[in-house]
Amino acid sequence: MPNELRFSRSDSGHSTPERSVATHTVARWCVGNGWPVLPLAAGRKTPAANCRDCSQPGHTHEGCPCPQTGKWCHGFHAATLDYDRVDNWWGRNPALGVGVACGPAGVVIIDVDTHTAVLPSRDRILPGITIGDHIDLSGMTTGYHSLAVLAALREATSPTEDDSTLRVRTPSGGMHIWYRATDGRRWQSSTGSGKSRALAWQVDVRAYGGYAIAPGTTTSAGTYTPIGSARQPAPLPAWLAQELQRTGHLPAAHIPAPRPVPPRARQAVIAAGGGREQTSRMLSALLADVAACAQVPEGAGFTEKLNRAAYTLGGLAAAGQLAQEKAEQVLLDTAVMARPGQNQRIEQIIRSGMTAGAKRPLHLGGRR
């Protein structure tokens, strides 16, 4: 049956969307992975429409009350980890597709295209890398080719062949390769033809400032289907992180970094991280996002940020990367400073997030 719910079982025993499945199921699976979700227009790749007020010229997501009242206005800015909201959105509107807000989800997605397009000049196929006139480019027609060339130059496996991570075949024949950002850096989105930043011709990057279509989602063009056996993003490879940094995928210097962790929490960060530099950096970045909510009384996405931080900390603790009690306490301290007087609610969010995260141990630096 074409509409039958189909799942595969991962090694951990958790159900995973395999192909055309109920959107409600897809959305809940994503939230279970710690990925904030947003509704997409039925059968399309674009976010569901805003309400009438939010569609007025000049209106932006800044200060808009709609997300706080349970509306999905403003695309990925309304993405949520709230199961109740997910049940309301997709339970009542099963035709909606599912998108994932990449930055808040902590993922970097390499989007390989196969569009029919004229090959650009040699200096724009791999930005910043000169391709000599003696090299025959007649067979280069898609992003698969340009990404393979970049990987070969770095003596690495092309992400399209990386069977250690979640890869999703798109209806057009392209591919989304999902990776997990593990060092706290806020990678930025780009398009393969962008002039300010680009990784390779016909290769887009989806990170902060962008969203991706969730595996298992079906549009009018077809289904976004996982391939291979991996159903979770692997850590972003070091060589690819270097290429993203080289090609301008980090915030510009004038864009402020996340607010530093409150002073009284710094020593706790070091203790909770057990002295592991990579773990401490990630913990600091997560706490900074929560702490920054203190500057915005409403509309800061506090619940989602706290939930995301708790989920990640639960995964790190389950992998033995940090001490759970210390991590839980420093997260609680930071959250209470950001939202005084909400201790009971904050404790519930942290417990729920860490419990869910513990089901997905998060190993850094290739440790298993």
**Token match 């950096």: residue?**
281
Evaluate if residue 266 carries a pLDDT over 90: no
**301-324 mean pLDDT:** 83
CA dist., res. 24 & res. 90, Å (int): 5
Residues 58 and 172 in one domain: no
Residues 84 and 121 in one domain: no
Q: So what's the pLDDT on residue 20?
A: 47
Residues 224 and 134 in one domain: yes
Residues 320 and 195 in one domain: no
Within a domain: 257:
no
Helix intervals (H) in 197-342? 238-246, 263-272, 277-291, 302-318, 324-338
Domain count along the chain: 3
Evaluate if residue 277 carries a pLDDT over 70: no
Within a domain: 157:
yes
**174-186 mean pLDDT:** 90
Residues 27 and 112 in one domain: no
Residues 330 and 217 in one domain: no
User: Which class for 110: exposed (0-12), middle (13-18), buried (19 or more C-beta within 10 A)?
Assistant: buried
**90-101 mean pLDDT:** 93
Residues 294 and 329 in one domain: yes
Out of 116-120, 242-246, 306-310, 321-325, least confident range:
321-325
Within a domain: 2:
no
Out of 169-183, 199-213, 232-246, 293-307, least confident range:
293-307
Residues 140 and 94 in one domain: no
- Angle value at C-alpha 170, between 244 and 35, nearest 5 degrees: 60
Residues 172 and 220 in one domain: yes
Within a domain: 310:
yes
Residues 302 and 347 in one domain: yes
Q: So what's the pLDDT on residue 271?
A: 47
Q: So what's the pLDDT on residue 347?
A: 87
Out of 75-79, 156-160, 244-248, least confident range:
75-79
Nearest to 327 by CA among 313, 315, 312: 313
Within a domain: 251:
no
Q: So what's the pLDDT on residue 295?
A: 67
Q: So what's the pLDDT on residue 265?
A: 46
Residues 121 and 38 in one domain: no
CA distances from 289 to 51, 103, 283, 300, 306 (A): 28, 12, 10, 10, 8
Q: So what's the pLDDT on residue 7?
A: 44
Q: So what's the pLDDT on residue 345?
A: 80
Within a domain: 118:
yes
Within a domain: 207:
yes
Residues 147 and 238 in one domain: yes
Residue 328 structural domain = 263-357
CA distances from 1 to 20, 126, 242 (A): 10, 44, 45
CATH number at residue 211: 3.30.2250
Q: Tell me the pLDDT tens digit for each residue of 34-67.
A: 899 999 999 899 998 888 878 877 777 777 888 7
